[in-house]
Structure 1
Amino acid sequence: MRWLHTVAVACLLHAAVPAEYLLPGDVVPSHYHLKYAFDIDPATNFSYFGVVDISLNVKKATSKIVLHANDILIADPIIRSGDTPSHKVTGYKVNDTYSLMTITLDQELQQDENYTLTIPFYGNIKHGLDGAYISTYVDQMTKKKEYLITTQFEAISARKAFPCFDEPMYKATYSIVIGHHKDYTAISNMPLENSVSENALEDHWPWSQIEKKFKKPKSDFVWDSYEKSVAMSTYLLAFVVSKFSFVQSPSDLSNTKFRIWARPDALDQTAYASTTGPKALTYFEQWFNLSYPLPKQDMIAIPDFASGAMENWGLITYREKDLLYDEKQSSFLNKERVATVIAHELAHQWFGNLVTMKWWSDLWLNEGFATFAATVAVNHVEPTWNADKSSAVNDMLLILNLDSLESSHPVSVPIDDPKRISEIFDDISYQKGSTLIRMMTMFLGDEVFRKAINNYLRKYSYDNAEQDDLWRELTAVSKKYGVLPGNVTVKDIMDTWTTQTGYPILTGHQALTSLHRFEHGAERDQWLLFNHDMIAPYRVNYDPRNWQLLSNALKSNDYTRVPLLGRVQLLSDAFALAWTNHLDYSTALNLASYLQHETEYLPLYTGLRGLMQIENVLKRSPDYGAFQKFVRKLIGEIYERSGGLATKKIINGHDLNSVKMQATISSWACRMKVPGCEENAIQLYKQWMDTEKPDENNPYLEWTVTEGSGVRKQDVLPVIVNIIRSPVGYYVAKDFIYTRVDEIYNTFKGQYRRMGEMIKTLLQQFTTQRELDEFLEWREKNAQYLVDSKLAVNQAIENAQVNINWITKNRKTVVDKLREFSTALKRNRTHINLSAHSAAISCNVQISTALIPLYLHFMKN
């Protein structure tokens, strides 16, 4: 029999990007000669001057040149053919809505001819987190505040630093010249070619055009010129001007010159990165079978940085905590994070930099692949961490939750407004993209997959590609090796996963009946388990008999007979299905009761994650005590077994499973009032404890919107969301958001995706219709602050409504079951003898549904 019960979502068609947002393509750049003079002095308000010479090729005769510019002051442009001015500029203007600069000429540029467009520009470098911006730190030796200039151009902020063709498909080469005070050091994507005094280049600068607006560089300026770059998209250009120092990696780790830059006080925290980076880069060269194309790789820790890191080609910028690691003070989890982020950014040097998506609709080709490849590299660099399993679980749990919302989006998503690009830098593009790539490696095989990726990278090197280009290369190699049957293509399989929202749910009772027809000696106590390696994103529901058999297997002395990832999948499915009323909570809680004896982190994390959904809607209710009692009995033995808080043996060891187990259990133990945990926590972390009463003038929230408070812009969101998640802090934070939204919005300027993340966290706490109605009324009055966060806000509203519906339908029933299972939970393992012939058998089945073909891997005992 076939599986008849599936849930799928209709395809979403790619919408064309409106013409008013896109460059017309009549002229395209081939090379930028970009020169800057920076005055890193607060007394001059960090003034700068620049001039860009853009080499243009005319694809279609036109009397207009359209490119991007945003928040920069423009002097008179010049158009030349060779060294001679060829056309008169009759006017130029910038459309602020679309960030488009239109230059009008007195006559047409001729098709297939080459010209040079020169645009002087100037302004002041601002304190921010995108474009070219000012970052600060305090030198611990001199106690002096120091300034640096750094960049963040992805996705559409190169236009804030210089006039350019700021779409990923307009690749060009770059020659960069940076003028700065001699006390500073400048670095860019390419190696330094030469450094000269101020007089050597002064004649090449059109000072007369801006002499009233910009003071000429001082006599102690130097001019640094960098080697010509390879062809790349504007968002990958980068430079940093600072007083930083660097550590160079040992030459035996990589054929590429590798340097780690940081403020002088943090240089002693670069050792781990200086070995991990070169190891990962060398591994990727072997894995992609393609050499790293640049002569050097710099990685630099920036004090003020919005995201985790940015893959600028040859100059990767990082938030400090994602590059620096202090062996004496940093946690083992910090080390894991550093390794993962480094590997992710280095994977981009091929997938994203060498080959780039044509438009942001296929962002997942960049981010999904880098997320997947990072796991592969970390597995190589740190083989004892089991990064493949950990990543598979984390990715799957994230996307199965987010992608169940109607307001989710496809992996390959239409982007019809550049202002919405930041919204898709989310778990769907990263984690679902990674999961789908992992799924492909499983059904195509590692050899076929890697050969196809190598072909793809070589074919589209220094160029742009679309999703279908990748499918063609994968199909060609698959056919050569006979992996795919008949006329089936990778596109046939994968488009169903990438162009539509959601995932299937399979009901397993028909499958069980079907299998019994073929297994003539099948016993009544044999269980069936689908997706035990978490190969593909789908959920499975079983008939009550099979759920009970699986619970018995988990509560037996030999629960590891159910594979590690199989235990994860069962717990995830059970709690998700119960949350959506597809499964009775008795089944989910019965299944989870085995966790008191679980010794592996990933199943425990998954089970507690399922319980967290219940905690979230009960923690501000009188029923929270019943929930706490159940979890106390569930994890009490594990807490004792892990040694409680701050066990030096584990913290200083290299058993990542134990470290994660202890961190997770300790956090839960204190929240659930496990005896002794809170007392120990207060002694260790007293200064970080929540106050017992709401403070209407909470200083932490006030600091987030106060300039000079010491809270960096990058840390504003974590401060607010952590206060929101506190049962007491929630009320204070909600009032703060509702009454100070204008200040929060200005603080997030240039990073408006963070507004959406803040709202999502707030609405995750909602449990009443009154709270949601209050928010909806507030949203109507403050819509201007949420215009760039529509997707996140819609997801937040949907999640809040799910919480409210759950409370209405399930609260009493679930609380009663929690009390029932609290009484039933015992410290001693339930002894269940499995069938003597219960050896696991793995099977492969291909199912074609109307919308999604599934390659299923299941096992039976």
Structure 2
Amino acid sequence: MGVPTTAELENNSNQKKYTVNRTSKGDLVISKIVCGLLVLLAMILIALAALLTYFLLPYCPNEATPEALRKAVVKDGPARLPRSIQPLHYRLQIIPFLEEGNFTTNGAVQINVNVTESTNKIELNINDIEINQHSVAVKRVSDDKSVKVSDQKYDNESQKYIISLAESLKEGDQYQIAITYNGKLNDYMQGFYRSSYIDSNTKDVRWIASTQFSPTDARRAFPCFDEPSFKAKYTVSIARPSNMTSLSNMPKRESVVVVDRKDWIWDHFKETPQMSSYLVAFVVSDLQPFRFNSSEKLFTIWSRRDALEQTRLAMDIGPRILSYFERYFGIDYPLPKIDMVAVPDFGFNAMENWGLITFREAVLLFDEKISTVEDKRAVATVLAHELAHQWFGNLVTPKWWDDLWLKEGFASYLLYYGVNFVFPDWNILTEFIMTEVHKAFAIDSLKSTHPLTFTVHSTDEIRQMFDPISYSKGASIIRMINNFLGERTFKAGLIKYLHTFTYSNARRDDLWDVLTQQAHEDGNLHDDLSIKEIMDSWTVQSGFPVVTAVRNGKRVDVSQKRFTFDKSFAEDTLWWVPLSYTTDLRTNFDDTSPKQWLKKETGKNFEIEANRWWLVNPHQTGYYIVNYDEQNWRALTENIMSFPTTIKAQLISDSMDLARAGLLDYDIPLKLIKKHSLEDKDITFLPMHVAFTKFEYLYNVLYSTPAFGDFDIFLSTIFSFAFDNVDFEDSPTHPYLVQRIRRTVIKWACKRPETRCVATARHRFRNLMSGQGSQEITANTQETIFCTAIREGSEPEWNFAYEQYLTTTSISEKETILNALGCASKPWLLSRYLDYMIKNESGIRKQDGPRVFRAVASNYIGQSIAFNFLLTNWKQINEYYGSAFNTISKMVEDLTIFMNTESQLEELLKFRKENWDSLGASAQAFDNAVEIVKNNINWMKINYRSVEKWLQDHNDHYVI
């Protein structure tokens, strides 16, 4: 049946309209005295209203600020730029001063623009830039006639520079705007910023200047029209010391000596294609190249000299993934080269700048002897994500940040295709529901979540869009579209979309139109139906549905409602839900095309051929979870071992989430997981990993309760086969899934003190401390061994590990040790560790601050220490880390791991209230955190006693 054949949409025609009519008796005349009295009366009433609002508005200490009030306040605005001027071409010259130590820049920019509507003002974006006002000049291109500048001013709140003109620029004419300016090489990893590393041979500090312009920081490097729809061409020139190199989006055209500076070179780069300002990039450094010439396109990776060998993995798979995407899209990569740079300090994992992709070192460098299997996976997935962006994001760019998912969702989805091509033995496509769907569910199950598409105005709101909703939910609904349209139609539609909007911008409706046209051509969609009708319910509405399926004889009744962990929350949101299913009588797990649809309706019923069990939404291709009647849940549990691994993982995840939300008795998921774990003699990675992930919530919420002892026994018993049969004997030659299983199992096996796992970990760590046995600690076991030894030990173990962190040259090992250092059981060690986060001399880079904070906050002993640290140092932390990359947001979200009491909620609400004016980009994180703690409190009230009793009733023998 495929896609539905009719649209049943809510009628929105009943909209009231109001008119104001002029009286026929002429104008109303008011005397000056009466007018003055009216003004005075109005001012008195306004003041009185303000006082009444202040004193009478209720303050509820246990409730978040009402959303309507919170959303009404827009801070840090930059208002959108006018559309009267369109940039055509930038001629940018910039000199970064690194070796002088003052970390500034001198720049000059000439912007050729087209005037689409007459105006006497030019508005540009700038931030933390000082304009040389005497240099500002405007002239008409056709005759070089100057236009007099009458006024210039900064608007810091909206991050604009406004140039007023003595005469209007004429519609249809082209003009040139010339500006010289001074900027800063900041250490916030935003704009044009500075980074550094220590030369391993000379021990000298080596400085680097690099860029991170996404989403709104090109304006920190040069005055520009810093919105994605203002595409233009760029010709860039960079001055550099002769002992360094420079890179930009395009290859160099020529290099010449700087006339007035000894030993300096100007590098002039070729003109770029049409592109958005956030994709412009340049790097000045002494990093070294590793080159590969593929299909006449130069593919180069740049890194520190002593890390060049660690670029081999990326160099091996990068050109292959690029070629795969060229074939998949049927569109050649349009630039003549790709440079990929491992930057020592980097806020995101990577940035897809066209032709010059920048990376955090940890996701580009890989050492077979020191890096883990997770590190290898990260290199492959991040690389594939950024290369997918060369089409989705760079070639075709969203018009505005409200459609961020149009690039991030596609890159997050398509990366699985690229990685599967180079590593087919990983079977990574089966991991999608674990790493994307379930990740999105975790945020989207909150009332405080946001839609995929919603209006954003301020830089803070734009930065908050870079979250699992845009990335993982975006990828999940794209996968859903692919599933109900079919791969052939979906792929053909994407290619048509890319061709239609090449070098331009698009909105989601543009994608819907192209996919609808393709689906109509292929006969996969009824002529009266559009993709927009279906998909707007998924993109402009928050959350996702739980579909309840209850069998009555030969018929199944299905209904939908929004899923949240707050049982009391009621909302009448409805979606177009594709319903695929399979049964024990007609078993076909691979047929996931929709057989029925819920067309924005609360429910329906249909016949089904089943004897014992039936399964809705196999492989979770639809972005929703499913609840069944108890009889079917019992039958699914009984047959769990006969299902594919993705469906096992789906049932484990759905049942645990339903129980957490109070929609299912915990007896169902606990028995389902028990049966699978006790009978899974192959130790299957995906369902086991999902089970541990879901158990982590119970582990944390029960940790300080009397029930935890029974829960701990329950875990150790049902996973006893895995704990007994997975050892520390790890090798990089072992298959991918074997390595991932080992990392997961020993991490959980060593959580319990006085076990064989703990004894082995401590023994191997002591041997390392004594100068022997380093070969006993492999990459995949190092974090668990270090964490266990530090947890069970004291200051000597912690100091030894910290010294290892400072001395190792492996970025992968540094991250592993940073995670382990937070395992300490001594509060003062954890306090010292957090203090190191805000001290440059500690050796901990700013990019790793969130990792340090999470390591402490996820330690039960460290949770309150982390909260107090954030509370006490809020202002300093914000100044130290800046507003980008959701750094502070990540810390706020990590606070909630063990919070489940009213007093903890009150402290969190008080913290938010006292820092309301400085929340910035962390406002959404606070909303999420407050809701999570409330849900935890409700869980304790509703579920704790029943879970405790269940564990007590089953603690003698864990069998079904």
1:607 counterpart residue number:
691
Q: Tell me the amino acid that sits aligned with residue 69 of structure 1.
A: I
Alpha-carbon spacing, 1:783–1:15, altered in 2? closer, same or farther (3 Å): closer
2:426 is the alignment partner of 1:385:
yes
Deviations 1:78-130 (A, max 9, x none): 11223735111122111111101100111111111111100100133222210
Query: Among residues 241, 257, 267, which one is paired with 1:224 in the alignment?
Result: 267
1:597 counterpart residue number:
679
Deviations 1:795-815 (A, max 9, x none): 111011000111122112212
2:82 counterpart residue number:
24
Deviations 1:488-546 (A, max 9, x none): 21112111111111111122114764169x99999996111111221111111111111
Tell me if structure 2 keeps the 8 A contact 1:91–1:104. Answer: yes
1:172 counterpart residue number:
232
Deviations 1:50-102 (A, max 9, x none): 00000011111111101101101101211122373511112211111110110
Give 3-state SS (helix, strand or coil) of 1:33's partner: strand
Deviations 1:266-325 (A, max 9, x none): 111010111111000000000000000000001000000001000000000000011011
Deviations 1:700-752 (A, max 9, x none): 11111112221101001110111001011112211111111111111221326
Deviations 1:229-273 (A, max 9, x none): 001000000000000111002x3x444210000011111101011
Deviation at 1:462, TM superposition (A): 0.5
1:529 counterpart residue number:
615
Give 3-state SS (helix, strand or coil) of 1:509's partner: strand
Deviation at 1:184, TM superposition (A): 0.8
Question: Structure 2 CA distance, aligned partners of 1:194 and 1:709?
Answer: 42
Give 3-state SS (helix, strand or coil) of 1:127's partner: coil
Question: Structure 1 CA distance, aligned partners of 2:183 and 2:451?
Answer: 40
Alpha-carbon spacing, 1:666–1:519, altered in 2? closer, same or farther (3 Å): closer
Tell me if structure 1 keeps the 8 A contact 2:247–2:282. Answer: yes
Question: Structure 2 CA distance, aligned partners of 1:187 and 1:614?
Answer: 50
2:349 is the alignment partner of 1:308:
yes
Deviation at 1:10, TM superposition (A): 14
Give 3-state SS (helix, strand or coil) of 1:154's partner: coil
Deviates more, 1:19-28 or 1:478-487: 19-28
1:54 counterpart residue number:
111
Alpha-carbon spacing, 1:49–1:743, altered in 2? closer, same or farther (3 Å): same
2:127 counterpart residue number:
70
1:38 counterpart residue number:
96
Question: Structure 2 CA distance, aligned partners of 1:123 and 1:499?
Answer: 39
1:154 counterpart residue number:
214
1:705 counterpart residue number:
838
Tell me if structure 1 keeps the 8 A contact 2:241–2:263. Answer: yes
TM value normalised by structure 1: 0.88
Question: Structure 1 CA distance, aligned partners of 2:707 and 2:295?
Answer: 58
Question: Structure 2 CA distance, aligned partners of 1:626 and 1:9?
Answer: 51
Q: Tell me the amino acid that sits aligned with residue 194 of structure 1.
A: E
Q: Where does structure 1 lack aligned partners over 5 or more consecutive residues?
A: 1-7, 200-216, 831-861
Deviates more, 1:683-692 or 1:433-442: 683-692
Question: Structure 2 CA distance, aligned partners of 1:277 and 1:52?
Answer: 34
Which structure has more relative contact order (CA 8 Å, sep 6+)? It is 1
Tell me if structure 1 keeps the 8 A contact 2:350–2:359. Answer: yes
Q: Tell me the amino acid that sits aligned with residue 98 of structure 2.
A: I
Deviations 1:153-193 (A, max 9, x none): 00000001100000000000000001111011000000011
Query: Among residues 188, 191, 207, which one is paired with 2:248 in the alignment?
Result: 188
1:86 counterpart residue number:
146
Alpha-carbon spacing, 1:733–1:28, altered in 2? closer, same or farther (3 Å): same
Structural mapping, 1:641-790, within 5 Å? 641-642=725-726, 644=727, 646-648=728-730, 651-673=731-753, 675-682=755-762, 683-684=764-765, 685=786, 686=789, 687=801, 688=820, 690-695=823-828, 698-751=831-884, 753-790=886-923
Give 3-state SS (helix, strand or coil) of 1:533's partner: helix
Query: Among residues 717, 721, 743, which one is paired with 1:637 in the alignment?
Result: 721
Deviation at 1:697, TM superposition (A): 7.3
Give 3-state SS (helix, strand or coil) of 1:695's partner: helix
Alpha-carbon spacing, 1:515–1:737, altered in 2? closer, same or farther (3 Å): closer
Query: Among residues 640, 649, 659, which one is paired with 1:578 in the alignment?
Result: 659
2:402 is the alignment partner of 1:402:
no
Deviation at 1:423, TM superposition (A): 0.5
Deviates more, 1:686-695 or 1:451-460: 686-695
* Aligned-pair Cα RMSD in Å: 2.5
Deviations 1:627-676 (A, max 9, x none): 1111010112112222x2x322xx32342222111111111111134721
Question: Structure 2 CA distance, aligned partners of 1:610 and 1:172?
Answer: 48
Question: Structure 1 CA distance, aligned partners of 2:240 and 2:732?
Answer: 44
Give 3-state SS (helix, strand or coil) of 1:371's partner: helix
Question: Structure 2 CA distance, aligned partners of 1:498 and 1:472?
Answer: 15
Q: Tell me the amino acid that sits aligned with residue 884 of structure 2.
A: Q
Deviates more, 1:387-396 or 1:674-683: 674-683
Q: Tell me the amino acid that sits aligned with residue 658 of structure 2.
A: L
Query: Among residues 261, 281, 288, which one is paired with 1:245 in the alignment?
Result: 288
Alpha-carbon spacing, 1:513–1:603, altered in 2? closer, same or farther (3 Å): same
Alpha-carbon spacing, 1:189–1:716, altered in 2? closer, same or farther (3 Å): same
2:515 counterpart residue number:
474
TM value normalised by structure 2: 0.80
1:539 counterpart residue number:
625
Alpha-carbon spacing, 1:315–1:95, altered in 2? closer, same or farther (3 Å): same
Give 3-state SS (helix, strand or coil) of 1:24's partner: coil
2:949 counterpart residue number:
816
Question: Structure 2 CA distance, aligned partners of 1:236 and 1:520?
Answer: 54
Alpha-carbon spacing, 1:10–1:746, altered in 2? closer, same or farther (3 Å): farther
1:115 counterpart residue number:
175
Identity %: 35
Structural mapping, 1:203-214, within 5 Å? none
Question: Structure 2 CA distance, aligned partners of 1:190 and 1:307?
Answer: 23
Structural mapping, 1:613-624, within 5 Å? 613-624=697-708
Q: How many residue pairs align between the two structures?
A: 790
Give 3-state SS (helix, strand or coil) of 1:736's partner: helix
Tell me if structure 2 keeps the 8 A contact 1:529–1:566. Answer: no
Question: Structure 2 CA distance, aligned partners of 1:353 and 1:654?
Answer: 38
Deviation at 1:782, TM superposition (A): 1.7
Alpha-carbon spacing, 1:9–1:143, altered in 2? closer, same or farther (3 Å): farther
Tell me if structure 1 keeps the 8 A contact 2:584–2:610. Answer: no
Alpha-carbon spacing, 1:740–1:810, altered in 2? closer, same or farther (3 Å): same
Q: Tell me the amino acid that sits aligned with residue 87 of structure 1.
A: V
Tell me if structure 2 keeps the 8 A contact 1:633–1:822. Answer: no
Tell me if structure 2 keeps the 8 A contact 1:411–1:433. Answer: yes
Tell me if structure 1 keeps the 8 A contact 2:198–2:205. Answer: yes
Q: Tell me the amino acid that sits aligned with residue 746 of structure 2.
A: S
Q: Tell me the amino acid that sits aligned with residue 549 of structure 1.
A: A
Question: Structure 1 CA distance, aligned partners of 2:11 and 2:247?
Answer: 49
Question: Structure 2 CA distance, aligned partners of 1:405 and 1:352?
Answer: 28
Tell me if structure 2 keeps the 8 A contact 1:256–1:297. Answer: yes
Tell me if structure 2 keeps the 8 A contact 1:764–1:796. Answer: no
Alpha-carbon spacing, 1:60–1:604, altered in 2? closer, same or farther (3 Å): same
Tell me if structure 2 keeps the 8 A contact 1:755–1:786. Answer: no
Deviates more, 1:406-415 or 1:350-359: 406-415
Alpha-carbon spacing, 1:621–1:10, altered in 2? closer, same or farther (3 Å): farther
Give 3-state SS (helix, strand or coil) of 1:34's partner: strand
Deviations 1:590-610 (A, max 9, x none): 111022333211111111222
Give 3-state SS (helix, strand or coil) of 1:479's partner: helix
